[in-house]
Amino acid sequence: MKPNNLESLWMPFTPNKAFKKDPRIIVSAKGMHFTSDDGRLILDGTAGLWACNASHGRSKITEAVARQLEELDYSPPFQFGHPKQFELANRLSEIFPEGMNHVFFSNSGSEAVESALKIALAYQRSRGKGSKTRLIGSEKGYHGTNFAGISVGGMVKNRMYYGSLLSGVDHIRHTHLPELNSYSRGQPEHGAELAEDLERLVQLHDASTIAAIILEPVKGSSGVYPPPKGYLERIREICTKHDILLIFDEVISGFGRLGKATGSEYFGVTPDMITCAKGITNATIPMGATVVQDFIYETMIENADAPIELFHGYTYSGHPVACAAALATLDIYKEESLFENAAKMAPVIEEAAHSLKGTKHIIDIRNIGVIAALELETKEGALGQRGFNTMKKCWDMGLMVRTNGDTLAFSPPLVLNESHVDQIFTTVKNALEQVD
Ligand SMILES: Cc1ncc(COP(=O)(O)O)c(C=O)c1O
């Protein structure tokens, strides 16, 4: 099953040279497991890439996709519609926070972010506030890899190679306070006051120049940082006070990862837009969505200065096959009460993760919902090496983990049970004891 030449492919976010010398090849997946090319079962500790929330090989999705390809393989999304995209938008409105009844489809989290930021600018202009053009992000934020996303994002390696990025962008501080919050269970106690950093930017730039701020409710890709208690609430207050749109990037926190349909619902903080992707189709078919409050959509429609109110879209926006996959995925989430199972398993994961305190190399443990992170001490002069070696050791021992630098992240499919949790944390403990 091994591809005989690995050279032609340029793999994303991968050290290509090292990978091709010692590849990790996945050939199939079912339920909670991948199968490697040497026939080993690998427990999926990461739902692929925070994405396969309903686990793998779900026949309901496969059948819906196959049926859709037979019935309508494609229809153009500009000026023409097909039934499933309307149905899916309605279904999403039902599970997203009240007032968020309008959905713009794209093909990835990065595009959902790009769409949200463009909608924010176009909305401000359409209501006569065209000077509100500034976009705010945060340090340690991850919003995908397109230019707007890396501009508002706060991960240095994702930004430093790409020139001066989008202009008119600023960042608030991150909320990682290891000296105060190490080994917090769930939301840390300290750091709500860091929301005032948005006030600082308002004082610096004036609210009349700021269109929107985008934040992940839980920072995921930069290393799993749940928001301090009270932080998101305060951000919401400042946005409302200064008439700044609040965008929650829920590409990870959406679709049950925190035990609710959205992080917004989990935290009880309603933004003006939500971006999502990944779990929307269980990652089977690429899809992203930007869900907006009614007032944004209605303003854009009412104030349109041309027959088309938003000059934006993609060839594959609301692709029929992606819509079919998403509808089947939403059915599974509901029929199998997977968000509820996630809520039930969250304390089990918390307990198991924190039981590793004191294990070799670990300097912090963070968790929320069905997400946990083990931060390892960085080897001198070799940032990320220990994380990488642990990931490889886990792979050899039959477990997929995700690394960011020296932080190991866990986000298994939401169908998991106690024995999966046990296997994940027993394996990683053993792996850590064996790596340098
Ligand atoms: C919060 C967040 N936003 C955006 C993205 C980008 O999504 P994609 O890789 O589908 O473009 C990700 C991906 O991990 C993410 O975690």
Q: How many percent of the chain have pLDDT more than 70?
A: 99
Q: Are residues 177 and 299 in the same domain?
A: yes
* Res 297 pLDDT > 90: yes
In this structure, the answer to whether residues 28 and 142 fall within a common structural domain is no
Predicted confidence (pLDDT) at residue 381 exceeds the cutoff of 70: yes
Is residue 422 in some structural domain? yes
Q: Are residues 80 and 147 in the same domain?
A: yes
Report which DSSP code applies to 372: E
294 and 205 share one domain: yes
Mean pLDDT, range 122-139, rounded to an integer: 98
* 178 neighbors 225 (Cβ within 8 angstroms): no
pLDDT of residue 3: 60
Is beta strand 210-215 parallel, antiparallel or unpaired with respect to 288-292? Answer: unpaired
As a whole number of Å, the CA-based R_g of the chain is 21
pLDDT at position 139 is: 98
Nearest residue to 94 via CA among 265, 275, 248: 265
- Using the CB atoms, write b or e for 357-389: b if 16+ within 10 Å: eebebbebbbbbbbbbbbbbebbeeeebbbbbb
Residue 290 lies in a domain: yes
**Predicted local distance difference test score (pLDDT) of residue 2:** 57
Nearest residue (by CA) to ligand 1, atom 12, is 144
Residue 109 in contact with ligand 1 by CB distance below 6 A: yes
Looking at residue 259, its pLDDT comes to 98
- pTM, two decimal places: 0.98
| Residues of the domain holding 27 | 16-54+337-434
Which residues in 242-254 are b (16+ Cβ under 10 Å) and which e? bebbbbbbbbbbb
Select from 319, 335, 351 the last residue of a domain: 335
Please count the CA atoms within 13 angstroms of the CA of 269 that sit on its side-chain side.
Answer: 25
* The total number of structural domains that make up the chain: 2
- Judging by DSSP bridges, how do beta strands 371-376 and 362-368 pair with one another? antiparallel
Instruction: Judge contact between 367 and 185, C-beta under 8 A.
Output: yes
Provide the β-strand partners of residue 103.
291
Q: Which residues contact 356 (CB under 8 A, 6 or more apart)?
A: 362, 365, 374, 425, 428, 429, 432
In a domain, 8, yes or no: no
pLDDT tens digits for 24-50?
999 999 999 999 999 999 999 999 999
Q: In 3-state terms, what secondary structure has residue 230?
A: coil
Ligand 1 in reach of 47 Cβ (< 6 A): no
Whether 375 and 321 map to the same domain: the answer is: no
Mutational pocket test of ligand 1: of 140, 224, 278, the residue with most ligand atoms within 8 Å of the beta carbon: 278
Q: Decide: 284 in ligand 1 pocket, CB within 6 A.
A: no
pLDDT tens for each residue of 166-193: 999 999 999 999 999 999 999 999 999 9
- Residues 158, 295, single domain; the answer is yes
Residues 295 and 165 reside in one and the same domain: yes
Give the residue whose CA is nearest to atom 7 of ligand 1.
Answer: 109
For 270-404, where are the alpha helices, taking DSSP H only? 294-302, 320-335, 338-354, 385-396
Residue carrying the six token digits 């120049």 = 209
Give me the CATH number covering residue 40.
Answer: 3.90.1150.10
Q: Which of 304, 335, 366 represents a domain boundary (last residue)?
A: 335
Long-range residue pairs from 297-303, CB within 8 A, at least 24 positions apart, any chain: 297/101, 297/102, 299/123, 299/126, 299/127, 300/119, 300/122, 300/123, 300/126, 303/126, 303/127, 303/128
> What percentage of the chain's residues is helix, strand, coil (to nearest 5)?
40, 15, 40
142 CB near ligand 1 (under 6 Å): yes
Q: Is 105 in the pocket of ligand 1 (CB under 6 A)?
A: no
215, part of any domain: yes
**Ligand 1 atom closest to 253 (CA):** 1
Of 335, 362, 381, the position where a domain reaches its end is: 335
Neighbours of 209 (CB within 10 A): 16
> Does any domain span residue 187?
yes
160 CA to middle of ligand 1, Å?
18
For residues 360 and 430, what is the distance between their CA atoms, to the nearest angstrom? 10
Atom of ligand 1 nearest to the CA of 277: 10
In 3D space, the residue among 141, 404, 90 whose CA is nearest the CA of residue 249 turns out to be 141
Averaged pLDDT score across all residues of the chain? 97
The pLDDT tens digits of the residues spanning 161-171 come to 999 999 999 99
Q: What is the CATH number of the domain that holds 165?
A: 3.40.640.10
Pull the structure tokens for residue 173: 């501080």
Gap from CA of 12 to ligand 1 centroid (Å):
13
- Co-location of 231 and 249 in the same domain: yes
Residue 283 lies inside a defined structural domain of this protein: yes
Do 182 and 330 lie in a common domain? yes
- Distance from C-alpha of 15 to C-alpha of 38, rounded to nearest angstrom: 22
My answer on whether 142 and 187 are in the same domain is yes
Residue to substitute in 14, 50, 106, 110 for testing ligand 1 pocket (most ligand atoms within 8 angstroms of CB): 110
Q: Which atom of ligand 1 is nearest to the CA of 221?
A: 16
Q: Structure tokens of 384?
A: 């990320």
The CA dihedral of 373, 379, 385, 390, to the nearest 10 degrees, is -50
> Is residue 240, in this structure, part of any structural domain at all?
yes
Verify that 379 and 233 share a domain, yes or no: no
Residue 141 pLDDT class (50, 70, 90 cuts): very high
- Tell me: pLDDT of 70 over 70: yes
Residue 230 and residue 85 share a domain: yes
Q: Rounded to an integer, what distance in angstroms lies between the CA atom of residue 365 and that of residue 358? A: 10
| pLDDT beyond 90 at 4 | no
Mean pLDDT score, 201-221: 98
Q: How many CB atoms lie under 10 A from the CB of residue 24?
A: 15
**Residue-wise pLDDT tens digits, 237-277:** 999 999 999 999 999 999 999 999 999 999 999 999 999 99
Distance between CA 303 and CA 292 in Å, rounded?
Answer: 17
Q: Is residue 7 part of a domain?
A: no
Q: Which residues, 6 or more positions from 358, have their beta carbon under 8 angstroms from its beta carbon?
A: none
How far is it, in rounded angstroms, from Cα 36 to Cα 25?
A: 6
